[in-house]
Structure 1
């Protein structure tokens, strides 16, 4: 059934995007609708703002007032989404849900999970960086691109210690 899932756009009250996304996720959890509504996203981008000479990274909504859903369109999924507080409707002619095309999904940058690339593989030696274990060396046990994590067996004080780290917290050592 998951292959029938497509990306849809729903319109929300401005400022309610995160609340709507959370509420839909809660209903999916409570009613066990994981096979109908697969993903809920509020597209954001990191923006550097400079105020009074201070620089800070801010996450800003790319499309305020909109939430993206990957779902199988059925009466149930439509009902759940349509009756979520803060949702004003689906984007499409006459508020009929219209799935996004592959091109539109690519342009929105929604499916970013597949673009993660790493320069290390299982069995490679890596150095830990940006954690309390800075500088320790370990061997890659497994790589999970979906969760963007890597499992590493680190040699600490003569003992092997397993650790799960973010992909950007390890640096491949040249053999």
Structure 2
């Protein structure tokens, strides 16, 4: 019984480009109907991407799963009806549009829900020298210019091709250099 009453993460298929509109519409419906206990969270996972245009680097957010919205909810007839009949929603991901819950591993891998145990304790501060340990810039060294503990990102300047290049890196992608 408690398994049925516990909120789980599900995937909703939407029209591509309508993800944020669907999220806002569901959140508005939840608030107006007082269903906060049934539909607890709606998420559109995004990642930061560095784009170069006319020689200038720009960081923009890109949807990780275009055409999909993640929702944490307790499936009841009412909650299913609200989500399924939201404009822009084509259905739940699962056989015959029946909701199939994501496993805890899938939720963690998608980075949608941060658990308290995954909070990283970092010994980094602005001005520290770091070395990139993973990703496309592996082996490069740089200086920390900013820290975002909520998103677990660092703003780092690395020296590349004879000039300083700003990057956003995850905590796990760097290690502090020993002076």
Same fold (TM over 0.5): yes
1: distance between equivalents of 2:61 and 2:19? 14
Q: Who is 1:54 aligned against?
A: 56
Q: CA distance change for structure 1 residues 107 and 51 in 2, over 3 Å: closer, same or farther?
A: same
* TM-score, normalising length: structure 2: 0.64
Residue 45 of structure 2 corresponds to residue 24 of structure 1: no
Count residues in correspondence.
126
Q: Who is 1:92 aligned against?
A: 94
Deviation per residue, 1:81-108 (Å, 9 max, x gap): 0000000000001111000011111111
Superposed counterparts of 1:56-135, under 5 Å? 56-112=58-114, 114=116, 115-117=118-120
Structure 2 unaligned residues grouped into runs of 5+: 124-148, 151-179
1: distance between equivalents of 2:113 and 2:77? 25
Deviation per residue, 1:111-138 (Å, 9 max, x gap): 1253344669xxxxxxxxxxxxxxxxxx
Q: Give structure 1 regions of 4+ aligned residues with deviation exceeding 6 angstroms.
A: none
* Local SS of the residue matching 2:49: strand
* Local SS of the residue matching 2:52: strand
Deviation per residue, 1:43-97 (Å, 9 max, x gap): 0001111111110110000000000000001000000000000000000011110
Q: Who is 2:12 aligned against?
A: 10
2: distance between equivalents of 1:36 and 1:28? 8
Instruction: Quote the RMSD (CA, aligned, Å).
Output: 2.7
Structure 1 unaligned residues grouped into runs of 5+: 121-144, 147-175
2: distance between equivalents of 1:15 and 1:95? 20
* Local SS of the residue matching 1:9: strand
